[in-house]
Structure 1
Amino acid sequence: MSRLKQYPFLRLLLPFMAGISVGMLWPPQIFTTPLCVVVLLFLIVLLFFLYFIEPFDSVLFGSVLFLFLLLAGIYHIGLRYSMLEERMNEGYGTYLGKVMGSPVKKERSYRVLLMVRAIDRYGKPVGNRQKVYATLAVDTVVATLAYGDLILCRGWLSPVDPPMNPEEFDYRKFLFRQGITGQIYLEKESWRKTGIQGGSKWFVFFHSFRTDLIEKLRAGRMGEREFQVLAALSLGYRDEMDPGLRQGYAGAGAMHFLAISGLHVGILYLFLHALLGFLVRIPGGRLIRTVLV
């Protein structure tokens, strides 16, 4: 714990991240009420009061600060979910969509992640942007889609259906955590490429690099399910994950393992690496730290 005191940013980040984790387990409406805002404002006033009174009680101040950051993390995730719900559009219309990932081949269709925005009859964007999964009829053009491509489409945008059974995997909530709020089905004649790139060159480059890594994993000597789990853990790629596999992990209470990506593992590694830095002062300490991390 004394080692952690040398990194005040981590001490502030941990309760906030814990609050986000707790918020993801509860309905967002609970933590976006006016009462929650009042509690957060009260804790801010209390922190100012505790900071300036004499004598300064560091334990009490730290406890209140921990509680404030925990509630702030919960409120943050609840507010994010509420904003996603408010931005949800549905209905038949014309949309401009930016491709956010490589098309995934299904049995009789393709699925691709889009960032869409409605277009009025004058061709001007209206409304909010939102992430949706588009199901496209099999076509040779679909396979050529890449990150950043802009497409013009016309179809029926609808929200993802909630689970019908109490024990069923909540796919809608799973997508919501990724900021995906809807779905749209597009026939061959209901969409076309505009020939315009809407993404940053850096994002296009890094997405292409990630796609190459995914293909290298796919070419490895492993089963389809092993590939899906490894791609999810190492690269955060879950687009091809089998629903039955998701349901199995959810039923075992281990769905959070599939939510962990290589980025999360990297952050955890840096945190543990810094926390165990005191080991370098003893003989062989660097090796011990490497093994423990």
Structure 2
Amino acid sequence: MPLVVGILCGDTFPHVFSVWEYVAGFLLFLFIIGRYKHAGWVYGAAVYLFLGSTGFCLMSWQQGKTVFPFSGKTAVYRVSIREHPEERERSILCRVALLGEVEQDTATDCLRNHLFLAYLPKDSATATLRRGDELLISARLAPPANNGNPDEFDYARHLRRKGYSGTTYVAGGHWRKTGHDASRTVSQVALDYREKVVGLYRSLGFEADELAVISALTVGDKEELSDDIVETYSVSGASHVLALSGLHVGFLYALLLFVLRPLWRRWQRLKPLLLLCLVLFLASFAFFTGLSSSVVRSVVMFSL
């Protein structure tokens, strides 16, 4: 509870603490519990205060990653596409990391690779963009903003919580590809394998709504879901089925347990090995779903 309270306070009253301030607080916490270890209420208060401060600092550090000095002017930036571009109704959405700024033939590196949502026009040139492409863009970076409607969804705060500093629109002809970074993170490798599984479904003859539903149910890929399918599941009260979470991992865990339990009942020495295989299978399932937060959390809990 104190950790949750600290996270909520850090989200409501953002203030970025330095690492040294947190270390000083941690040393003070160790001193208090060592000095007053026999006073129960002092020890309990110190633990609660430390957990609350930890939650506050974690949230404030997360908020601090999105702070960016916006100039409000159009400039030339170097960016790298972090994920596969998404095709929207009228544009191509690219999640990019800011590498630096180019001013009068002088390139300056960005100390922290801030994340931005970049919208590019839909044409034959942007259709060739892939993850890892490095671009030079001429655009104006803007902080996240809402539409100003009463009681609307706070989209700006949602983006900041996702780690994005802002958005930008790149007009046609105002960008150029300069290179490609082939290195991949573990999460990106997992997403690539998830796409291979979806490609396997296509090769087996699944298409349209069938492909969308089976991809969402098995590997958590919901990009192919149409608005009609989402609305149908929502009206029927079964929309949670389309989102991979503890429900799906629980069914998989129960199935594996049902299959493996007779084996270790007959051969007790195999039990540790079979349990290890069960945990590895759950971890593999999380990997092929793109290491989404909900699945990873469920797999960790079932593994424990």
- Normalised TM-score (structure 2): 0.61
**Equivalent of 2:193 in 209, 212, 217:** 209
Matched, 1:193 2:177: yes
The verdict on how the C-alpha distance between 1:79 and 1:29 changes in structure 2, with shifts beyond 3 A counting, is farther
Residue matched to 1:49: 32
Contact 2:16-2:63 within 8 A present in 1 as well: no
Report the alpha carbon displacement of residue 61 of structure 1 after superposing the two structures with TM: 3.0
Q: Distance in 2 between matches of 1:175 and 1:223?
A: 31
CA-atom RMSD, angstroms? Answer: 4.4
Structure 2 Cα separation of the partners of residues 263 and 217 of structure 1: 24
Which residue of the partner structure matches residue 160 of structure 2? 176
Choose from 127, 132, 136 the match for 2:116.
132
Within a 5 Å distance, the mapping from 1:1-293 to structure 2 comes to: 16=3, 18=4, 23=7, 25=8, 28=11, 30-32=13-15, 44-53=27-36, 55=38, 57=40, 61=43, 64-86=46-68, 88=70, 90-116=72-98, 117-127=100-110, 129-194=113-178, 196-201=179-184, 205-213=189-197, 222=209, 234=220, 262-274=292-304
The verdict on how the C-alpha distance between 1:226 and 1:60 changes in structure 2, with shifts beyond 3 A counting, is: farther
Native 8 Å contact 1:228 1:241 kept in 2: no
Query: Are the counterparts in 1 of residues 36 and 42 from structure 2 also a CA contact under 8 Å?
Result: no
After TM superposition, give the deviation of residue 141 of structure 1 in Å: 2.5
CA offset at residue 101 of structure 1?
Answer: 1.2
Question: Are the structure 2 counterparts of residues 167 and 229 from structure 1 closer, same or farther at C-alpha, using a change threshold of 3 Å?
Answer: farther
Q: CA deviation at 1:212?
A: 3.4
TM-score, with normalisation over the residues of structure 1?
Answer: 0.63
SS in 2 for 1:124: strand
| Distance in structure 2 (CA, Å) of the matches to 1:259 and 1:86 | 34
Separation in structure 1 between the aligned mates of residue 58 and residue 133 of structure 2, nearest angstrom: 31
Rounded Cα–Cα distance in structure 2 between residues aligned with 1:174 and 1:216: 34
What CA distance in whole angstroms lies between the structure 2 residues aligned with 1:88 and 1:199?
30
String of CA shifts for 1:253-282, please: whole Å, max 9, x gaps: x99x989773443233323442xxxxxxxx
Query: In the aligned structure 2, how far is the partner of 1:83 from the partner of 1:134?
Result: 18
Residue segments in structure 1 that go unaligned for 5+ positions in a row = 1-13, 275-293
Please state how far the C-alpha of 1:29 moved relative to its aligned partner.
6.3
Quote the Cα distance in structure 1 between the aligned partners of 2:56 and 2:224. 27
1:143 CA displacement: 2.1
Shift in alpha-carbon separation, 1:207–1:234, aligned structure 2, 3 A: closer
CA distance in structure 2 between the partners assigned to 1:183 and 1:227 by the alignment:
33
Q: How far apart are the structure 2 equivalents of 1:241 and 1:41? A: 52
Which amino acid is 2:33 matched to? L
Unaligned runs of 5+ in 2: 246-290
How many pairs does the alignment contain?
243
> Could you tell me whether the CA contact under 8 Å between 1:151 and 1:191 is conserved in 2?
yes
Residues of 2 paired with 1:28 and 1:51: CA distance? 31
- The one-letter amino acid of 2:83's match is G
Q: Find the aligned partners of 1:238 and 1:69 in 2 and give their Cα distance.
A: 38
Distance 1:28 1:189 in 2: 39
Cα contact 1:100–1:148 (8 A) shared by 2: yes
- Distance across 1 between alignment mates of 2:297 and 2:31: 31
1:189 is displaced (CA, Å) by: 1.0
Task: Return the letter of the residue paired with 2:34.
Answer: Y
Tell me how far 1:67 sits from its aligned partner. Answer: 3.5
Distance 2:47 2:80 in 1: 41
